[in-house]
Amino acid sequence: MNLRSDMDGLYCIRPDLIRDEDLDFWRTIGAGGFGQIHRARHTKWGIDVAIKSLLCNGGCVSTLQREASLMFQGGNPNVLRVFGLYEGHLGCTPGPSRYGLVMELMERGSLADLQTHLGGPPAWPLTFRIIHQIGLGMNFLHQLAPPLLHLDLKPSNVLLDDSLNAKLTDFGLSRVARSLTQSVREKDEMEGGTLSYMPPEALKSLNYKPSKAFDIYSYGVLLWSIITGQEPYSYAMTTLVRFRVLEGDRPDLSSLDYGQADGLADIVDLFKRCWVKEPSDRPSFKDCVDVTEKIFEMHKREVSKAVGDVLKTLDDEICSSLKSIEITPRPQNGVGPQVSSCVTGAPPKQETAADHTRQSRKPDACSHPTAGKEKKPEKTPQRQTSTPDGVRIRMSNVFGVQIGNGNYMNIVQKPRQRHRTAPSSVNSTINLSEKHS
């Protein structure tokens, strides 16, 4: 790390500048609103890191350095570590140098990924821990001097480590983007997900100056998303969301059963206070943490089991396609199970010319330097085709299957199960969470 002397004679740590010669084994693993995300091995540190390349040119370096210095003030377990600044060609990408941030790699992806894999929220003990950890991370950022605003708090910006602990990422990058481009407002309008987490005061004026209350509002909507496992206003048009939020509409609460878990009613009351219209009426993150800590302590003993169950579910998904396939060797007597099936083809046939030779024709005397000479006989490459006979397949929701000869393959799909946190019924009232024609 580098030390920089300031005007007061004090010293502060600045992040390292990391270049292509320090990195190897590049792989693109995703993309975000600010640029692509890559994975690479730091050859000197011996660890894999994440590189977020930002959509900016050389003129953004000073801005990026200033913001990265703030982001580098780590030390909180719920804030993603920023190791340094990146400058290079993303391994071997042609063109001018690219710039970005080198950060801690999170193997389990984001909270949005977890919601997708589970088809909803995780078990309540883990849900309450994630809620509390996000509040702790945001309170840390807001307590810095000067405070560091996130400005883009949403499920995809909450990352999970190997034990499913929550860590905030992309904090401060919204401010970097706004200082680098004039088209950010247009981009925000195109991204319904980001727009859905923005407070009404930010939607009302192009000249809005962000404050801590911005993040508090986003936290309220985020808590709703974590509790329900849904994306706010997912079926509403962007223009309608902007208009209705300004009019006071918020994500739908009608499907929530407050009796599903101890403390859930307190969480609902908290995020309703976070998304009130007037910024001055919203609580601070310290106030939020005081509430979430009490609820987390009520469920703390059950967190380990909840984490283990989720990790098992995630790990089982890796091999789910293999586990859903059952291959049964054909019985010797030729009698197979009586199932509805389809025969994949006719009896095997084979065509081979490996033992045949062909004589090259006598070439024209002007066509080749060796004209007039007889070529040695050439072997024709062997060509073999085979279609399995009598293979019968029972399948469900399968796109394609490759089958060896003489096997039965039964493809079984596990039945879908209702998550225990899912509501028993769905309200049919038309609102922003439903699709408008």
Which residues, 6+ apart, have CB-to-CB distance to 105 below 8 Å? 39, 47, 48, 49, 50
CATH second-level architecture of 2-104?
Answer: 2-Layer Sandwich (3.30)
- Marked catalytic residue, from 20, 22, 152, 170: 152
Q: Which residue has the tokens 């404050």?
A: 211
Determine the Cα–Cα distance for residues 245 and 195; give it in Å rounded to an integer.
Answer: 10
- In what helix (H) or strand (E) does residue 350 lie, and over which residues does it extend? none
Per domain, the residue ranges of the chain are: 2-104, 111-303
Determine the Cα–Cα distance for residues 189 and 162; give it in Å rounded to an integer.
Answer: 34
Does the pTM surpass 0.95? The reply is no
- pLDDT on residue 432: 53
What's the CA angle centered on 94, arms 93 and 97, to 5 degrees? 80
Catalytic residue list contains 152: yes
* Domain 111-303, classified CATH 1.10.3720.10, yes or no: no
Same fold, 2-104 and 111-303: no
- pLDDT on residue 360: 43
Q: Are strands 82-88 and 16-18 parallel, antiparallel or unpaired?
A: parallel
- pLDDT on residue 258: 87
Is 404 buried (19+), middle (13-18) or exposed (0-12) by CB count in 10 A?
exposed
Around 42, how many Cα atoms within 13 Å sit in the side-chain half-sphere?
19
- pLDDT on residue 384: 43
- Tens of pLDDT along the chain (437 residues) come to 443 433 333 334 455 788 888 898 988 887 766 678 889 999 999 999 988 887 665 556 666 776 667 666 656 899 988 888 888 888 777 777 788 888 889 889 899 999 999 998 999 999 999 999 999 999 999 998 888 889 889 999 999 999 999 999 887 665 655 554 444 444 444 333 378 999 999 998 878 888 999 999 999 999 999 999 999 998 888 889 999 999 999 999 988 888 899 999 999 999 999 999 999 999 999 999 999 999 999 999 999 999 999 999 888 776 554 455 554 454 444 444 444 444 444 444 444 444 444 444 444 434 444 444 444 454 444 444 444 445 454 555 544 445 554 444 444 444 555 556 666 655 544 455 444 44
Tokens at 332, concatenated:
């010797």
